[in-house]
Structures are given as C-alpha cells and as structure tokens.
Structure 1
Amino acid sequence: MINLVRNLEIKKGRKFDQVVEGARTVFLRDGYEGASVDDIARESQVSKATLYSYFPDKRVLFIEIASREMKRQADEGAGSLDMTAPPEVLLPIVGRKLIDYMLSDFGLAIFRTAVAESDRFPEVGRKFYESGPMLVRDRITDYLETCIARGELLIDDVPLAAEQFAELCKVRSVLCCTFDMECDFNCAERDRIVASAVRMFMAAYRAP
C-alpha cells in the first residue's frame, strides 16, 4: 500500500477530481486520523484500487487535499482584507488569522503529517511548503510592498520580513500544540501574542 520511493509523482486520470472531492469531504468531516481509505473510496464512488492508483498512501492524499484547502482559505482571506489599511491596522488581523489556522485541528494535522512524511515523500514536504509557508510569505510580501510604496515601512529584504512576521505570530503556540503540551492558547492569549508580534515588527520596520 505504501510507496517508499523518494520522489512521488501523483498520477492524474479520469476520476482524479472525483477522488479529491470525496477525500476533501471525508477529511474535513472526520479529520486525518478518523478518515479511512474505505470511507474515502465510498464517498468518491470509486474502488480502492482506483484510489490507490492515484494516491498510494493516505498521507499523500491528505497533503494534496490540505494544499488545496490552504490555498482556498488564503484566497478567501486575502479577498476579505483591506490592502489599503495601514500596517498597524491590518497586521493584527493577518496575524490572528495565521495563529487561528495553525492551532486548528486541521492546521496542526497538516503540519504534523508534512513533517513526519517529508523524508520518505519529499513531494509531501514541497507541497506543504508551497501551499502553506511560501504562500503566506508571498501574500504578506505583496502587502508590505504596498506599505513601503506609501512610505509607512522601510524594509530592505521584504520576503525575509514577511517570514519574520509570520514566525513571530506562531511563537510558542504552534510548537506547544504540535507536541501536545498542556498549554491554553485562548482568544486573549492569541491576541497578546499577535499584538506583541506587531509591536516588534513595527519597531524594526516603521519608516522614520
């Protein structure tokens, strides 16, 4: 069942989209651990043999669904943001969206699966990075460049600054939850982390 090749190529065919949509329904409904291959095949209305012909491992299928879902949520989130707002206004909103997503059951499952499987399946790690951290970096970079053009920020390496902001918003919380440590990151604590991230970022990059 498990393909142990170092580089995985996902094969597409006539029922590929059908399998992806069925898997999305099951993963979002039952989570990664609760979703079985039998349930996914049944929801997709295909045989298990057909499912395995596209995705030889459940974890690879999960990352494919996750990458699509992350991009969909990022597109919807970007569409709801006012890119003309100053950084003091918009960055707290962006930061809160980041931490809420990363601490969600779905977000944590994606992160854990990608880290666990990227050695055996490099394609899994690449997909996670491109549809997660890299996409976030690029979206924040676009916004920061508009702030620079308006004279609100002064940044030499904009992509680096975008990654710094994202990491500041994830400090402590993501690792604690990933390793199932007993931590309570309620709404007030999340707001406190993001507010601190914004203050540090603006102290470093606010235009004189």
Structure 2
Amino acid sequence: MAQGLKTTSMDAIAKRAGVSKQTLYSHFKNKDDLFSAVLRWKMNQHQFSDEAPIEFSGDLETDLNLFGQHFIGLLVDPEACAMFRSVIGESPNYPRVSRLFYENGPQRIREILRAYLAEQGVQDPEFHAGLFTGALNGELHMSAMMNLDEVPPRRELNQYVARVVKVFLPLFREKRAT
C-alpha cells in the first residue's frame, strides 16, 4: 500500500512477502482480491467482520460504548490510517480500490450498527447509524489521518466514546419504534 495499489505489481508484493508469485496467485486471483483480504484482516482486528463480530449484550448503552470503542480504535489505528490515505490518493486513477475500501470498511461498519439499532427498535436505523458513526469520525480521526498528534491513550478514547454515547442515548431511546 505504501507504493500505491495501482503501481505495485504482484511481483513486488510477492518479493516483499518473501513468497513466490505463484504462491501469491494460489491465494489471490489479483490485487483487488489481495486488497480485499487485507481490508477484511484489518476489520477483523477491530471486530468488524463475520469472523470476529462484536458480541452485543442487548443493553443499548453498553453496546453503543462497545461498538464506539472498536470503531474509534480503528479510526486512529496507524495501519488503517495509512491504508485510508493510500486509498484516497489512488481514488482518482483507480476508483475500484475506493469501492473495495468503502464496501469492506465504512459501509460494513455502518451496516453492523444499523442492524443492531434495528434489533433495538430504533426508528430509521440507517440514518441513526450514519449519524452516530459520523459523530465518532471527527477530530480524533482527522488528527490521526494527518499525523498531527500521538494517538490518545485507550482510556481517553473510551471517555470520548462515552461522551458521544451520552449525547446519542436519549435520541436512540426516544426514536424506538412503538
């Protein structure tokens, strides 16, 4: 990703990984498949995948905090930020990578929250999932993307999430379908 997906060859990837090109192709048909696998791996690290899903308890406040902590962790993850910066840089010349990133990242994450909010009876869960993730995807993410500051300690990130949850909790409870 450091060289850009479009300009990086499967030969270069195989060399960097210390495997043969044949081995690489035995696992991935092309760079798009490889990129998708890397995205899924990163989502899995933050429990935004089918392989390692967030285990919700059913308590709205607890679960929003849990989701938010995983999400903010991803937003400030240095590898995830580097990947996002690379995708943005590639997007004008290689829009397919943007689509892959969007579908495997932001869209998947919002869908997890949308499904949870729907289970909780929150009206218009798609809108509210976007609103909640948008609130978390703010200054901390921008700072991490631009390498402006050190990533705050986990305790501070969790406090930030808790404050956002406190803002949204009354709205979500009020918007429950009757």
**Contact (CA 8 Å) 1:102, 1:108: kept in 2 or not?**
yes
Residues 37 and 143 of structure 1: CA distance in aligned 2, closer, same or farther (over 3 Å): same
**Contact (CA 8 Å) 1:64, 1:127: kept in 2 or not?**
yes
- Gaps in structure 2 of 5+ consecutive residues: none
Alignment partner of 1:181 is 2:148: yes
Alignment partner of 1:68 is 2:35: no
Alignment partner of 1:163 is 2:124: no
CA-based RMSD of the aligned residues comes to: 3.0
Larger Rg: 1
Question: What is the correspondence of 1:105-116 to structure 2 with a 5 Å cutoff?
Answer: 105-116=78-89
Shift of residue 173, structure 1, vs aligned partner: 0.8
Alignment-derived partner of residue 93 in structure 2? 120
TM-score scaled by structure 2? 0.76
* Corresponding pairs, count: 163
Identity between Structure 1 and Structure 2 (%): 21
Q: Quote the Cα distance in structure 2 between the aligned partners of 1:130 and 1:203.
A: 30
Q: Quote the Cα distance in structure 2 between the aligned partners of 1:70 and 1:99.
A: 13
Per-residue CA distance 1:16-42 (angstroms, 9 max, x = gap):
xxx7xxx9xxxxxxxxxxx965223x3
Q: Quote the Cα distance in structure 2 between the aligned partners of 1:176 and 1:194.
A: 16
- Greater RCO, CA 8 A, separation 6+: 2
Alignment-derived partner of residue 21 in structure 2? 46
TM-score scaled by structure 1? 0.67
Q: Quote the Cα distance in structure 1 between the aligned partners of 2:21 and 2:168.
A: 50
Pick one of 96, 105, 129 that aligns with 2:69: 96
Shift of residue 116, structure 1, vs aligned partner: 1.2
Q: Quote the Cα distance in structure 1 between the aligned partners of 2:131 and 2:112.
A: 13
Residues 70 and 160 of structure 1: CA distance in aligned 2, closer, same or farther (over 3 Å): farther
